[in-house]
Amino acid sequence: MRWREHEGVRWLEAELPGARAAFTTRLGGVSDGPYESLNLGWLTDDEPAMVRVNRELLARALGRRSEDFLVGRQVHGAELAWHDGVQADDPYMNPVGAPEVDAHATAEAGLAPMVIVADCLPVALAGPSGVAMLHCGWRGLAANLIAKGARAVEATAAAIGPGIGPCCYEVGDEVRARFADLGPDVVAGRNLDLPEIAARQLEAAGVMEIERARECTSCNPELFFSHRRDAGKTGRQAGVIWRES
């Protein structure tokens, strides 16, 4: 991955076969306080007008129209929505009525599946049947969302964006037990290694070309929002992917 910047908006970018993925930071927006500055999350206590401006800034930075983004209201589930065209009512800029879904996929060039995160992993997939972006917290990983996304686009390549690392993600015994079949390397004491779990699930789904961001959202307050670090009062960054041709 490489760092990119446009008019102050800064993101990590990954090149996948026939596609490009972007993982945003908190830099380059207009929000303030705990949401400083590129907060993209509607479901926060930030001013909606600020979130709207931030989303406009992101669209401009990535060279996309607002209607290109494919979004939903995330519920930590394992539902994947397939899209053959733009969504009605432009939920990227108008969240009312957005579907409850944690992953989006399309085969249409230019459309941009997107998820919102603040410790969970944004996972981008590309394959001959399209591209997908997945919102992967421990619940989505336990519910085999990665396998579902990989099947949907016949994924051959993936990029795992910034999320909370094993250095900071302490969980209970019942959560660690959900991933016991992956072996002891996905836990460190009481902590869980979400990026390693995602990588192993990708490999199990036949995805061998995997790129990983190494930044922990909790450890890097100057770059990323973190729900756990900031006790829930924080903004959201995004993962976006689009097919180029």
Report the domain count for the chain.
Answer: 1
E strands, the chain, are 2-6, 9-16, 19-24, 69-70, 80-83, 103-106, 112-117, 121-127, 130-136, 157-160, 187-188, 191-192, 209-212, 237-243
Q: Phi first, then psi: what are they for 185, rounded to 5°?
A: -70, -10
Domain CATH for 207: 3.60.140.10
Residue listed under structure tokens 């199990």: 204
What is the spatial distance between Cα 39 and Cα 188, in angstroms, rounded to a whole number?
31
pLDDT value at residue 165: 97
What is the spatial distance between Cα 44 and Cα 180, in angstroms, rounded to a whole number?
34
DSSP readout, 72-116?
A: -B--SS--EEEESSPPTT-TTT--TT--B-SEEEE-STT-EEEEE
pLDDT value at residue 124: 99
Neighbours of 185 (CB within 10 A): 11
pLDDT value at residue 188: 85
| 140 three-class SS | helix
194-204 helix and 145-153 helix, angle to the nearest 10 degrees: 40
Per-residue pLDDT of the chain (245 residues; tens, 9 = 90+): 999 999 999 999 999 999 999 999 999 999 999 999 999 999 999 999 999 999 999 999 999 999 999 999 999 999 999 999 999 999 999 999 899 999 999 999 999 999 999 999 999 999 999 999 999 999 999 999 999 999 999 999 999 999 999 999 999 999 999 999 998 899 989 999 999 999 999 999 999 999 999 999 999 999 999 999 999 999 999 999 999 97
Of residues 129, 124, 89, the one with CA closest to residue 106 = 129
pLDDT value at residue 215: 96
What does DSSP assign to residue 230? T
The residue range of the domain holding 157 is 2-243
What is the spatial distance between Cα 94 and Cα 114, in angstroms, rounded to a whole number?
15
Helix (H) or strand (E) run with residue 68 in it: none
